[in-house]
Chains A and B, each alone.
Chain A
Amino acid sequence: MNNLLEQLLDTLIVLFGVSTLVFLLLVMIPGDPVDVVLGESAQAADRETMRAALGLDRPLLERWGLFYIDLAQGNLGDSLVRRQPVAQLILQRLPATLQLAGAAFLLVLLLALPLGILAARHKGRGLDRLAQGFALIGVSIPNFWLGPLLVLLFSVQLGWTPVSGNLEPGSLLLPAITLGLSMAAITTRMVRSSLLEIESQPFLRTARCKGLSETAVMLRHSLPNAMLPVITVLGLQLGSLLAGAVITEVVFAWPGIGSLMVDAIRQRDYPVVQGVVLFIALSYVLANRLSDLLSGWLDPRIRGTD
């Protein structure tokens, strides 16, 4: 129980640090943000309104405090361009991003588990090399190049999928591959290495001596024991899916929070940029902490050490 409290406190400190970092981003804008947004020739009254909207008329420490009071109420400020609360904008765009991230995560599971298992079982042979090659390419291919490549192949050459947008069926496939491939590659490596790590454990020899088939050994003994590091990595990726979605959404004109943020950057709509960054960063921290908790709960060895 003590352990859980400690972890909670730790998480709170990290959340505090991350949100302060996001708060400080607005302070980093060189010069006067009001000039940047409105131009130097703006009316004095407009400038004052915007100054108040951004909270720039108050001292830094007070703004910092207000930032947290607003945050506690779920208030991320108002968009300068769209005249709407930032939180509302994010909520409107969130389903599209979640759909994309969910599809990508499914793809990671469908690709990485079988590939990693195959690679581990055929260690050093052709299939293993193939899976390792896939992992290396997947890690190295930038998603803003992979996306156009996939479009070129599947939409233009083969005519199987729509080029962009999320209105037609099948439009989810290419963005999901674009977003998920590098994570699938990392996870494949992780599944393979963690299966190989427990390969020489006595309990596997015992299982084989009992006369269990290789499949039964894999399903009942190897996989459950090799999954812990994989779950940690998957948790890390669940968070980075949201961050990675920023570029993927731009490539495919996908109407999620990533393209909301990039549009806001172009329009210098700072509160929206700040809100989306904060939202993604906090989700990332929470996803990581949850996967830590989950692997702790799954592993009796960790669970026992309170």
Chain B
Amino acid sequence: MRISAFVLGLWLIMAMAGRLPSLDPHLVSLPDILKPPSTSHWLGTDELGRPVLDRLLAGASVSLLVAVTTVSLSATIGIFIGLLAGYFGGIVDRVISRLIEVFLAFPGMLLAIAMAAMIGPGIDNVIFALAVMGWVGYARLVRVQVMALRQRDHVQAAVALGRTDLAIMIRHLLPLAMAPVWVEASFGLAGAVVAEAGLSFLGLGIQPPDASWGGMIRDGVRYLLVAPHLVLAPGMALFLVVLAANLFGDGLRDRFDVTSRNTP
């Protein structure tokens, strides 16, 4: 878990570095086309002579922005919907459950590809498409948690004291339902990073000339034989971030899971 936190921290630093004005991710330099890594260009240059390191950092910035925004947005929507279904039950729950079932029955990445295809590429649309596919997991988790917590004494006490539904949901139910949400968010982060890169790889995400890891892989594949670093560098960054987020999620799950913590 420490290693994965370290890698995720590195990602954050790379993303912040990607915002530095001294970077030249768009600087076309025709004499430097497809140069292998060297002391002047640590990760070499791409097919337009742009420095791969600078583009990698700019790509880190994009992937972090998309992933964090997507996860926050899907979690917020999902938590809200899950709270409604679990708290009110009855017809509200039946309708929401059906909705959840339909979205779960849809392969997530396919939905994101289809939505991005219809609403067009671009960073906002990517976030929107990923959030539409992402909210379901949170809603399902929170719904089940809230249904189990609903009959607890402290909730019944709050009802008896005449607290509003909203206050009960937010102050008395949500804090107790959050543990699995954090685990889901960690895996969701990995999923969002891959999905953004996948959409950009298909040409449906971040548009050139802006750098994104998926787009770099897509462009680099054409020069795989002469300049493999174009594919290796962004791919390795992507793989490590996803691996770290998955490991972090595993670690969180083990930590929050009381039963497995008590039994060795």
Contact = CB atoms under 8 A, between A and B. Distances in A.
Nearest to A29: B118
A297 interface: no
11 contacts: A14-B101, A28-B119, A141-B239, A142-B197, A142-B239, A145-B231, A148-B221, A148-B231, A243-B107, A247-B201, A261-B113
Q: How large is the interface on B (under 10, 10 to 19, 20 to 34, 35 or more residues)?
A: 35 or more
A244 B109 contact: yes
Given A25-B115, A139-B246, A145-B239, A251 B105 contact: no
Interface in B159-205: 190, 194, 197-198, 201-204
A281 B118 contact: no
Contact of A18 (B106, B117, B194): B106
B55 to A, nearest CB: 16
A242 B221 CA distance: 23
B110 interface: yes
B79 interface: no
Contact of A152 (B99, B224, B247): B224
B183 to A, nearest CB: 15
Contacts, number: 117
A203 B114 CA distance: 49
A218 interface: no
B118 A280 contact: no
B224 A273 contact: no
A98 interface: no
Contact of B107 (A136, A145, A239): A239
Contacts of B111: 21
A159 interface: no
Contact of B194 (A142, A246, A288): A142
Interface of A: 13-14, 17-18, 21-22, 25-26, 28-30, 136-137, 139-142, 144-145, 148-149, 151-152, 156, 239-240, 242-244, 246-247, 250-251, 261-262, 265-266, 270, 273-274, 277, 280-281, 284-285, 288
Given A28-B115, A265-B204, 16 more contacts: A17-B99, A17-B101, A17-B102, A21-B106, A30-B120, A142-B194, A142-B197, A145-B217, A145-B239, A148-B224, A242-B107, A246-B109, A247-B202, A273-B117, A274-B114, A281-B106
Contact of A144 (B99, B201, B242): B201
Nearest to A145: B235
Given A25-B115, A250-B202, A280-B110, A140 B224 contact: no
Contacts of A285: 105
A144 B220 CA distance: 12
Interface of B: 98-99, 101-103, 105-107, 109-111, 113-115, 117-120, 190, 194, 197-198, 201-204, 214, 217-218, 220-221, 224-225, 228, 231, 235, 238-239, 242-243, 246-247
Contacts of B239: 140-142, 145
Contacts of A17: 98-99, 101-102, 105
B102 A21 contact: yes
Contacts of A151: 224
A2 B239 CA distance: 48
Nearest to A157: B228
A22 B224 contact: no
Contact of B217 (A148, A240, A244, A277): A148
B231 A22 contact: no
B114 A22 contact: yes
Given A136-B246, A140-B242, A149-B235, A18 B105 contact: yes
Counting from the closest, the 4 A-B pairs by CB-CB distance are A17-B102, A243-B107, A145-B235, A140-B243
Contact of A145 (B101, B103, B120, B238): B238
B218 to A, nearest CB: 8
Contacts of A152: 224, 228, 231
A148 B118 CA distance: 28
A251 B106 contact: no
A274 B235 CA distance: 30
Contacts of B114: 22, 25, 273-274, 277
A29 B120 CA distance: 8
Contacts of B102: 14, 17-18, 21
Nearest to A19: B102
B110 A144 contact: no
A136 B217 CA distance: 22
A148 B235 contact: yes
B201 A240 contact: no
Of B197, B203, B235, most buried by chain A (CB within 10 Å of CB) is: B235
Contacts of B118: 25-26, 28-29, 270, 273
Contact of B238 (A29, A142, A280): A142
Contacts of B197: 142, 144
Contacts of B98: 13, 17
Contacts of B113: 246, 261, 265, 277
B172 to A, nearest CB: 33
A209 to B, nearest CB: 26
A157 to B, nearest CB: 10
